[in-house]
Chains A and B, each alone.
Chain A
């Protein structure tokens, strides 16, 4: 079984600040890491590989620096890495990102299973997985809690819904977005890291795609635009209340009601 895991490089912390004048995100030092939710997708891939054989490859779209997360995946046990990178891919929203990744996937081989994380910690939309599946015309399932059975032509999983857990059998190829905690991700191994230090990462740019029309990628191919970014205004503004217990209870009730929790 050939598995492909989508991994994204994200800022080290999501405690970012915005320059109040320019409205631009301050990325001082700009330390980055693999999106933590993607570690669960990777671990899921390794567990399936242990049973079924085949390869676990990873794909990431981003600037050349995103090779770092691919190397990290190698150190965890991934077999091959693909970096989808081109100037014209920059500034992509979900539609353009998922389209670019799907083009990259098409030019990289045939995969039986594609795995994504639940969401990222920066853009945080949780939409990329389902849109990749749509471009590839394959079924997809979100909120995957458990892998129950894997066969050559199907996979049985359980998914987390608000009031129930549903068990479903999906024909392959398909895409799954896995929940946190599906498996505990393994740590990168120093031995593997050393052994894979010179392993080639395949870099795909616009010219390697089936569709080479630049207007379908990056900023040009993105219908959404971030018009403005700003920090939450009220959350750190504090309100303090003092007084008799009756007054406090009354205030407290009104606040809870105002926030629509009653």
Chain B
């Protein structure tokens, strides 16, 4: 006898802004498809949940990305994100439809919404995960137990979290860790419109003003990708800027480069500069002095290019390329451009 006979299927929250679904929702739907395919005997469906105002026309798109079913709440109260109304709607959906698991992107929105909902329904919530599997040993007992893996201790350790005794199993998952499957316009699925009952329609949080962030004066500490310029790359600064732009990242520098007058002090990384922690740090012509390394060693992935195979930077890099920055970088930029054009 299954432990939770009433709970079924993998649900994915499809986050949207101005009616446009964020990619992470589709990445999670694609991954959920893979997960349900590992448990064919349980006949699990992938269900997308879409909240917003005038979002009905997006339901087909959610199905084309891999959902079998879409639950929609279309209400003017949900036009812009609010913790209160989104949590109210989502809680009612979960109580009504009883998902076995519920996945949300670990975005600013997802990490605000999911804990409110989890506490309201007494569910376990795994935070900011990077990997999901189904425990195949439990499938025979009729259980689709998720094994959710996440970094903790600032990325120095990983933990695999399970939620064996309560349902749904909730998790927030980082964007970009899963591939988005190609769209299949021929897919069909069920679309259900759900009407929540609002506890109150008076907002507790009143938005006074929304200011777009200035694009100038970039804050390198917030960049997801950084390309670092060292003294060995001073002749390639323009190419490096182009490379960073193509990758959607920013440029930073060592103190040597700042002192030589090639870059501004506010992009200096290190002991007397800023501490950065991007997902990717590409160190170009940087020797790897401790004062520089102190500011960037926590980056998730460090790639170093240096022509000296003994350079200190290779000791902390995950990937090292022994070569000439002035030659390698222009070729790299060309390849990235080609790939993006394709």
Contact = CB atoms under 8 A, between A and B. Distances in A.
Contacts of B247: 256, 261-262
Interface stretch (A47-55, A79-87, A129-137, A189-197): A129-137
A238 B158 contact: no
Given A142-B112, A238-B317, A249 B107 contact: no
B154 interface: yes
A172 B334 CA distance: 55
A161 B108 contact: yes
Nearest to B153: A14
Interface string A60-104: 000000000000000000000000000000000111001100000
Contacts of A198: none
Nearest to A240: B320
A228 B317 CA distance: 27
Contacts of A245: 323-324, 327-328, 331
Given A143-B108, A262-B247, A224 B124 contact: yes
B155 interface: yes
B332 interface: yes
Contacts of A170: 204-206
B188 interface: no
A164 B81 CA distance: 13
A178 B235 CA distance: 42
Interface residues of A, number: 76
B293 to A, nearest CB: 14
Interface of B: 83-84, 87, 107-108, 111-112, 114-116, 118-120, 122-128, 147, 151-166, 176, 179, 204-213, 225, 247, 279-280, 300-301, 303, 305, 309, 314, 317-324, 327-329, 331-332, 334-336, 339-340
20 contacts: A25-B157, A122-B152, A122-B153, A127-B127, A131-B115, A134-B119, A142-B112, A162-B107, A168-B205, A171-B204, A222-B124, A230-B159, A235-B301, A240-B309, A240-B319, A241-B320, A245-B327, A249-B331, A249-B334, A252-B328
Interface of B is mostly: mixed
B256 to A, nearest CB: 23
B157 A224 contact: no
Contact of B176 (A18, A126, A257, A260): A260
Nearest to B249: A261
Would you list the 5 A-B pairs with minimal beta carbon distance, nearest first?
A223-B124, A249-B331, A125-B127, A134-B119, A245-B327
A224 B319 contact: no
Contacts of B321: 240-241, 248, 251-252
Interface in A203-256: 222-232, 234-243, 245-246, 248-253, 255-256
B157 A231 contact: yes
B1 to A, nearest CB: 21
Given A134-B116, A161-B108, A227 B161 contact: yes
Given A228-B159, A252-B328, A259-B280, A240 B335 contact: no
